[in-house]
């Protein structure tokens, strides 16, 4: 009855019956409650199992360490919150149960999952104080947890500690840890563990062999990789196609094509994948003649498949030999091989590179009718081809590929957006942004600049600011082109305060506008008597770069003088004269008029003080005469 209540989620009633059992002390109650915990855990009812544990612990029963470990293991496996794990551990301490190595392993695994790495390492260091000693699972938990949190060096330190104490790990440890270090490209560590594994007379499985061969091939240690394959074969394991492909790819990277062919022959390989790897290798180095010979041999031995045909058609298409590619396509169909999306992808590339955009678009529509998805590079070629031709169907292609989360490379996306904006379809360009986000296509600053320029030219200033907000939210960096577009747009609608804000921000980030934008800005602010608000930014530009020409200096000097900032105007005039530039007529006239006024004022002061000055002169003369 208690089991039925727990399995149906009636936890409170279940707990009530459990308390009655503990209170009455029925014979076999303890064994029955332990059995309940076991059944609940096996059926994924961990919450119910925890209720039973609490009931046992609050009574006169004392659950064994095995019961606690069972619950801890279930919580860790389900990746439950660390507080749940801690709760069970506290119940264990309350019951005065001494932890085992398995207990601490579960605790450390939960700590890693909660990103409490240092606490987990502290538990590892204190294991001996609890009379526990690390086992294979301990080292596996530590190394896996550290690597997952990018603390690789510390994981290697733990491994070295294991080596120092001459601990002999289990098969499961090797099967877990060797792939970890191979994926990290730590080949020497992986090989050392592999040799230890063989010395312990433990047999690696196919997966360990595969990751080791891949790592060796990535390091171009072909001889060692072949030895591992030989060892695998002698151990009764058949190398998978993936392992053979790694070997062939390594042969190709080293340019050892003849040796690759001999390897396949010696191993009596009859599967398509390794042969296709060699076929692709020949094409990658442009040796199409050798690829044709190999392909003919594959056809004769009935090894070729659709992928084999596609490799050749793709190479021909990419190298603008579309007629030859179509010839191979015809032979492919006649030979009863069915073209697939990769075949269409290849031909689309060929058509695009011959600028036959209408043919390429027709192929795209045929693929859409079959609900096929072309590869990303083919979509990029098609989008670029259509964008260069001014065809808005490029947007249709991008929208379709985005629905399948196929990302477009940044340069191709910029070309698409630019093509739409230049043809007056800036709104359509903006509507593509959600598709870009959905597909994972990068929205660069250059792309946003293109849209903002289109909006600016269309006079849609408010929409431009919305796009600016989106840029900032997405963390895009504003560059000089961004600021120039913003400033020019604000000038066009007379928003001088916004012009000032953007220009000052631009200067503070060490960016400078182009000369046309700067000239327009100075003219605009001069008309509104607000040049003094950008003085600091102007000083920064004048110091860092030769940005200001004589015409700009004249605008600044004239404007600042009129705005009442005569000191700053004179300072800029001095700089202007130092550069050998002559003020224009307006500035010159303004300054001369000011000098005349100042001279008149000076003469008045002179007449009033002449007697005083004479007296001072006499006193000075007498004093000097006496000396």
Residue range 485-535, pLDDT digits in tens: 999 999 999 999 999 999 999 998 988 899 999 999 999 999 999 999 998
Mean pLDDT of 169-193: 94
Tokens of 592: 């001369």
* Distances 566 to 169, 562, 573 between C-alpha atoms, Å: 83, 8, 10
Q: What is the maximum alpha-carbon separation in the chain?
A: 132
Residue given tokens 């190595």 in the structure block: 101
- DSSP per-residue string spanning 507-574: HHTT----HHHHHHHHHHHHHTT-GGGGHHHHHHHHHHS----HHHHHHHHHHHHHTT-HHHHHHHHH
Mean pLDDT of 295-321: 96
Residue range 56-83, pLDDT digits in tens: 766 677 788 988 888 899 888 888 889 9
Chain-centre distance for alpha carbon 293: 42
**Given this model, what pLDDT does residue 484 score?**
94
Long-range contacts of 185-189 (CB under 8 A, 24+ apart): 185/215, 185/218, 185/219, 186/152, 186/156, 187/215, 187/216, 187/219, 187/221, 189/156, 189/159
- Which of 46 and 177 is assigned the larger pLDDT? 177
Residue range 345-404, pLDDT digits in tens: 999 999 999 999 999 999 999 999 999 999 999 999 999 999 988 888 999 999 999 999
Neighbouring residues of 229: CB distance < 8 A, sequence distance ≥ 6: 209, 213, 239, 243, 244, 247
Distance, in Å, from the CA atom of 255 to the CA atom of 241, rounded to the nearest integer, reads 21
Model pTM? 0.75
Half-sphere exposure of 295 (CA within 13 A, CB side): 23
**Given this model, what pLDDT does residue 572 score?**
85
What number of residues does the chain have? 627
pLDDT-derived band at 279, boundaries 50, 70, 90:
very high
Residue environment code for 115-139, b if the CB has 16+ CB neighbours within 10 A, otherwise e: eebeebbebbeebeeeebebbbbbb
**Given this model, what pLDDT does residue 579 score?**
81
- Domain coordinates of the chain in residue numbers? 1-97
Residue 625 has pLDDT above 50, yes or no: no
């Amino acid at each position: 009855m208690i089991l039925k209540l727990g399995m149906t989620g009636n936890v409170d009633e279940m707990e009530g019956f459990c308390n009655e059992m503990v209170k009455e002390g029925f014979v076999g109650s303890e064994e029955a409650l332990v059995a309940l915990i076991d059944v609940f855990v096996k059926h994924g009812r961990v919450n119910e199992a925890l209720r039973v544990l609490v009931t046992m612990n609050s009574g006169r029963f004392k659950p064994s360490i095995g019961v606690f470990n069972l619950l801890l293991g279930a919580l860790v496996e389900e990746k439950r919150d660390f507080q749940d794990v801690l709760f069970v551990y506290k119940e264990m301490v309350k019951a005065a149960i001494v932890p085992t190595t398995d207990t601490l392993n579960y605790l450390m695994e939960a700590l890693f999952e909660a990103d409490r790495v240092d606490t987990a390492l502290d538990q590892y260091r204190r294991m001996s104080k609890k009379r526990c000693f690390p086992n294979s699972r301990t080292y596996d938990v530590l190394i896996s947890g550290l690597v997952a949190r990018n603390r690789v060096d510390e994981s290697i330190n733990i491994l070295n500690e294991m080596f120092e104490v001459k601990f002999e790990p289990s098969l499961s440890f090797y099967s877990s840890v060797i792939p970890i270090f191979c994926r990290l490209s730590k080949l020497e560590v992986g090989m050392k563990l592999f040799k230890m594994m063989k010395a312990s007379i433990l047999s690696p499985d196919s997966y360990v062999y595969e990751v080791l061969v891949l790592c060796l091939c990535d390091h171009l240690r072909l001889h060692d990789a072949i030895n591992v394959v030989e060892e695998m074969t002698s151990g009764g394991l058949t190398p998978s196609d993936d392992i053979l492909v790694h070997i062939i790819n390594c042969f190709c990277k080293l340019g050892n094509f003849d040796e690759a062919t001999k390897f396949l022959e010696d191993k009596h390989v009859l599967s398509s994948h390794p042969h296709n790897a060699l076929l692709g290798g020949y094409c990658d180095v442009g040796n199409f003649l050798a690829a044709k010979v190999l392909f003919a041999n594959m056809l004769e031995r009935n090894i070729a498949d659709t992928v084999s045909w596609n490799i050749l058609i793709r190479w021909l298409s990419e190298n603008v030999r579309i007629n030859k590619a179509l010839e191979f396509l015809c032979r492919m169909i006649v030979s009863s091989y069915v073209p697939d999306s990769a075949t269409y992808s290849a031909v689309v590339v060929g058509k695009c590179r011959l600028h036959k955009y209408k043919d390429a678009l027709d192929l795209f529509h045929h693929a859409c009718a079959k609900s096929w998805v072309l590869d990303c590079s083919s979509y990029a070629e098609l989008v670029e081809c259509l964008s260069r031709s001014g065809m808005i169907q490029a947007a249709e292609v991008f929208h379709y590929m985005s629905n399948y989360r196929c990302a477009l490379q940044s340069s191709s996306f910029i070309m698409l957006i630019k093509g739409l904006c230049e043809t007056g379809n800036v709104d359509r360009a903006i509507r593509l942004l959600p598709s870009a986000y959905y597909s994972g296509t990068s929205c660069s600053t250059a792309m946003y600049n293109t849209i903002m320029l289109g909006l600016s030219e269309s006079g849609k200033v408010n929409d431009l600011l919305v796009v600016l907000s989106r840029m900032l939210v997405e963390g895009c960096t504003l560059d000089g082109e961004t600021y120039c577009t913003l400033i020019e747009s604000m000038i066009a609608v007379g928003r001088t305060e916004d012009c000032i804000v953007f220009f000052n921000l631009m200067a503070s980030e060490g960016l400078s506008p182009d000369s046309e934008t700067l000239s327009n800005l100075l003219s605009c602010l001069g008309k509104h008597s607000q040049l003094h608000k950008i003085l600091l930014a102007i000083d920064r530009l004048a110091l860092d770069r030769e940005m200001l020409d004589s015409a700009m200096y004249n605008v600044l000097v004239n404007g600042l003088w009129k705005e009442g900032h005569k000191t700053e105007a004179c300072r800029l005039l001095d700089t202007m004269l130092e550069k050998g530039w002559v003020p224009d007529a307006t500035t010159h006239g303004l300054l001369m008029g000011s000098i005349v006024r100042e001279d008149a004022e000076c003469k008045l002061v002179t007449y009033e003080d002449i007697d005083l000055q004479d007296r001072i002169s006499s006193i000075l003369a007498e004093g000097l005469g006496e000396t």
